[in-house]
Chains A and B, each alone.
Chain A
Amino acid sequence: MKEQELLVNDLVVRFSNVNGTGSASANEMFAKSIFRMGIPVTPKNIFPSNIQGLPTWYEIRISEKGYLGRRAGIDLLVGVNPQVLRRDIDSVRPGGYFVYDSSKKLYDEFIRDDINYIGIPMISLAMGEYESARLQQLFKNIIYVGAVATLLDVEIDVVKEVIAEQFAKKPKLIEPNYKALQLGIDAVKENYSYPLNVRVERRDKVGDSILIDGNTACGLGAIYAGATVMAWYPITPSTSVAKAFETYCKKLRVDPETGKKQYAFIQAEDELAAIGMVIGATWNGARSFTATSGPGVSLMNEFIGLSYFAEIPVVLINVERGGPSTGMPTRTQQADLISSAYASHGDTKHPLLFPSTPAECFEHTVKAFDLADRLQTLVMLISDLDLGMNNHMSPPLKWDDDKKYDLGKVLSAQDLEEMEKPFGRYLDVDGDAIPYRTIPGTHPTKGSFFTRGTSHDEYAKYSELGEVYLRNVDRLAQKWETAKTLVPQPEFYQKENRSDIGMLFFGTTTYAAMEAMDLLEAEGIVLDSIRVKAFPFHAQVEDFIEKHKQIIVVEQNRDAQFRSLLINEMDLDPVRLLSVLNYDGTPITALTIKSQIEKHMAVAM
């Protein structure tokens, strides 16, 4: 085997565990330690839809260059799950390292001659130190953290600092953890030369970044946006949005004098009820939202149509997972685009926002509330499992104290008193197709109206007359045009266009796409890039497409749904739009993008 060249701060470490054994927190502490050393990290938790006993992986990409997408090729794998030993060993790149529990012998059949084996008697060490099986299991995890930290030259003081913070509320656990850490450290020091040539070194590359998951950022965004009613039904991978909202509400939204809550948090009986509650609450003048995933959105479809037609603001956070049906509930995809954009029966369409970082999850959640209130319609924030449930190195969450909520066109009692003409709930007074609304309880005799999902006239009266219906739905179409001027603008990655090929992407594809740009450029392939942040498409998106002969749409689903949206909404010639697709449930990588683009190029683009 060729000797490993020195490789600093550019590696992928993977931990292979059995779920339900407490490995996640040990692995997270390891990732955080590297982050604390000023080196960009991207941890990804690859877990089963199961509570205990199935394989789970935790992968950390360490990239001094700041590439935050997933990278294939595992440099070091810690394998402590016998169920998947074969697969784990096969997944290590040639020349890489396999760290295993040498308490039991590794049989010859598992020996590859092109990788390095490092045996640490993890469970034996743990058994020698701790009595209960549970503790042995938990501390085994810390033992391998100590071993790998030593092998990769992670600063042990930093690991200790992270451990101390983790157990700040249970300080009795700090010493035993340190002890386990030391067992791992010593096991390496006594038996192997260290550090490996694959290693980390302190840098100053993370600035003021934070390490946070998108769902937590969404929950916080909803709090900052002033949401007071949250209704939801548990579903992976969106559940932690609700959890974050509740956790931070308990800290930020409890009246210190009375101990009473400035929020209502309701776990509904199903997704239908969840969105019904949100509609009821916003109809009644509170900011309210729900969070769900594909199957939940399917169930919510009937109500989504009501919110569209009756023009009731709704914020829905859709954290996508692998579909169709129950699909791959703990894997990631961007496959609910068409079903979100046109959710419900009849002619319906809904603004969508596509955050790509936790900071944007926060910012776009706030934006979603303003847009929903301004446009009086349902706005969906489209996240995915990768963004929602994994920690990401993200710019810090930002709030401008001068910002005022845009609560849209709501009439007060005084407004109603001063009105000369009768109030018409669906009357387009300002020419932007957005009517005024009133909140129940505003005025004893003025401003009441009847909200209905049936066809209605400008005064909310039931009507099946064709001309009345047309006036209403055509106004809704015009409102869609207004929406285009209000949604976030796209982001460009070049000062001016340099190519007649444009790459278009959105959401969590961003990390990998940015890295792919560098990889392509290194090979002399220059293309222009645009990141779309919202549907309906902003005029600048149309302009970018107009200015490029070929557009490569990068997305994470089988059917190129985003491409369909572009073609459909802008009446584009499909020939101009090529696809880069990734839909195996894992986050897309830069190499996938690069190789698929190169294939397109080979076919004479």
Chain B
Amino acid sequence: MSYVKPLFHHPSLKKNKVGYVKADYEGVISTLCAGCGHDSISGAIVQACYEISLEPHRLAKLSGIGCSSKTPTYFLSNSHGFNSVHGRMPSITTGANMANKELIYLGVSGDGDTASIGMGQFVHAIRRNLNMVYIVMNNGCYGLTKGQDSATADFGSISKAGSDNPYQGIDLAGLALELNATFVGRSFSGDKSQLVPMIKAAMAHPGFAFLDVISPCVTFNNNKGSTKSYSHVRAHIEETSIFDFVPHQEALTVEYDKGTSKELELFDGSKIQLSKLAPEWDPTDRFSAVNRLHEAKANGQILTGLYYINTESEDLHGKLGTVDQPLNKLQQEALCPGSEKLEEINASFR
């Protein structure tokens, strides 16, 4: 069931540059468990879209199947949404993006939806550098079917039922790096101050922007011994940097220590401001990102923040060489070659 939130907004609520209040970016009331990490991520998406003054219809939200894939109803009610089939969100998003290159495509998936049934489509969306934001709400378990381990559950992580996971966990961010994804980061549902700017940066990135967001399952995977519980994540978190996103034509507000700061300009003129916490890591150098991730893992840390960004990213439309105008705006006059041309074609078959 969907519960409807009141449409009435207090007149004093602050409007953003395009005239919307934050509530205009919300969705129906969540039916997820109280305390679910996914709801915090939904909140971060709302916050990010409100702050960058996105017109709601400029974004399409898509998902697969699972707890995480239900969340698109809980944010951005004024955007078109698509809750597709299990593990297949990337293909739907690919087609949608091909039809209209002008929208922002926000794909939401889970660890089951991406790392198991949807692995094939996930890696191929990376391979094509599809221009989209791909968020995995990663809780290491199958919530909707009552808590089975997922493929991202860490080796040795203990389930609620008390069993050790005997399998190696799949690190989706590590995999995305390996596959040359052009924007890769990891965050934590409980760290909004990091997650919101990362979502904004991911939306500004012209290519495949992958965010693996650890999002504890309060019902099935928040027990002692689980490596995806709130307490475990909080105790082991390690950030790559202090991260800020600055939209196009806005001034930087935070001054970082000159020795460690890095500023990256994105395609649309917006900027990412980083205060690096590890000097040997450079977010534009994929090898250093891979090394940094492995190093953190070896130390038992959960590395969050931006790992890697390719500022020269060429997305799928660029690779295919499509026209500037969205394909779904082309009219019959432009698309249909007409009878005279067909006569020429007929003649070539005589």
Contacts and interface: CB of A to CB of B under 8 A. Distances in A.
A262 to B, nearest CB: 5
A: interface residue count bin: 35 or more
A396 interface: yes
B321 A259 contact: yes
Contact of A451 (B83, B120, B320, B321): B83
Interface in A257-304: 258-266, 268-270, 272-286, 288, 302-303
B57 A262 contact: no
B335 A228 contact: yes
Given A286-B328, A405-B332, A441-B60, A268 B99 contact: no
Given A226-B336, A284-B99, A286-B98, A444 B121 contact: no
A284 B96 contact: yes
B346 A397 contact: yes
Contacts of A442: 57
B126 to A, nearest CB: 11
B108 to A, nearest CB: 13
A263 B57 contact: no
Interface of A: 36, 208-212, 220, 223-226, 228-229, 231, 248, 252-253, 255, 258-266, 268-270, 272-286, 288, 302-303, 306, 396-401, 404-405, 438-445, 448-454, 461-463
Contact of B79 (A261, A400, A405, A448): A448
A438 B332 contact: no
B121 A276 contact: yes
Interface centre among A220, A280, A443, A444 (most CB of B within 10 A): A280
Interface stretch (B70-78, B138-146, B204-212): B70-78
Contact of A262 (B128, B317, B335, B349): B335
Contact of B99 (A252, A286, A303): A286
22 contacts: A223-B336, A252-B337, A255-B323, A260-B324, A261-B322, A262-B334, A266-B128, A273-B91, A273-B124, A274-B91, A276-B90, A277-B94, A283-B95, A284-B103, A405-B332, A440-B60, A441-B102, A448-B77, A448-B80, A449-B80, A451-B84, A452-B82
Contacts of B342: 220, 224, 397-399
A272 B322 CA distance: 24
Contacts of A255: 323
B95 A226 contact: no
Contacts of A283: 82, 92, 95-96, 99
The 4 closest A-B pairs by CB, nearest first: A280-B95, A276-B91, A286-B99, A440-B80
Contacts of A269: 120-121, 124
Contacts of B321: 259-261
Nearest to B124: A269
Contacts of B60: 284, 440-441
Contacts of B78: 444-445, 448
B169 interface: no
B167 to A, nearest CB: 24
Contact of A439 (B73, B79, B320, B328): B328
A223 B338 CA distance: 10
A454 B332 CA distance: 34
Interface in B122-158: 124, 128
Contacts of A273: 88, 90-91, 94, 120-121, 124
B103 A279 contact: no
B322 A281 contact: no
Contacts of B58: 441
B345 A220 contact: yes
Contacts of B33: none
B180 interface: no
Nearest to B102: A441
A453 B63 CA distance: 11
Contact of B84 (A231, A306, A397, A398): A306
B99 A272 contact: no
Contacts of B338: 399, 401
A77 B197 CA distance: 74
B221 interface: no
Interface centre among B99, B102, B332, B339 (most CB of A within 10 A): B99
A229 B72 contact: no
B95 A445 contact: no
Nearest to A258: B323
Contacts, number: 229
B10 interface: no
Contacts of A272: 88, 91, 120-121
Contacts of B80: 438, 440-441, 448-451
Interface in B296-350: 317, 320-324, 327-328, 330, 332, 334-339, 341-343, 345-346, 349-350
A240 B77 CA distance: 42
A302 B117 CA distance: 13
A445 B323 contact: no
Contacts of B1: 462-463
Contacts of B88: 272-273, 276, 302-303
B2 A286 contact: no
Contacts of B96: 280-281, 283-284, 440
B159 interface: no
B85 interface: yes
Contacts of A280: 62, 82, 91-99
A223 B342 CA distance: 11
A344 to B, nearest CB: 11
A302 B100 CA distance: 25
B56 A279 contact: no
B337 A223 contact: yes
Given A272-B120, A401-B338, A445-B56, 16 more contacts: A36-B350, A210-B346, A220-B345, A226-B330, A229-B99, A252-B341, A263-B322, A264-B98, A279-B84, A281-B99, A283-B95, A398-B342, A441-B103, A442-B57, A443-B57, A450-B72
A460 to B, nearest CB: 9
A356 B86 CA distance: 37
A329 B101 CA distance: 37
B94 A262 contact: no
Interface in B9-24: 24
Contact of A448 (B57, B322, B330): B57
Contacts of B128: 266
Given A273-B121, A398-B342, A228 B328 contact: yes
A484 B55 CA distance: 42
A277 B92 contact: yes
A439 B80 CA distance: 8
Interface centre among A212, A224, A274, A453 (most CB of B within 10 A): A224
A404 B333 CA distance: 10
B174 interface: no
Given A264-B320, A273-B88, A444-B78, A229 B95 contact: yes
Contacts of A261: 320-323
B98 A452 contact: no
B225 interface: no
B19 to A, nearest CB: 9
A444 B57 contact: yes
Nearest to A216: B349
A268 B93 CA distance: 13
Contacts of B73: 450, 462
Given A261-B323, A451-B81, A266 B57 contact: no
A210 B85 contact: no
Nearest to B317: A264
Given A399-B342, A448-B78, A276 B102 contact: no
A306 B323 contact: no
B99 A306 contact: no
Given A269-B124, A277-B94, A284-B99, A303 B57 contact: no
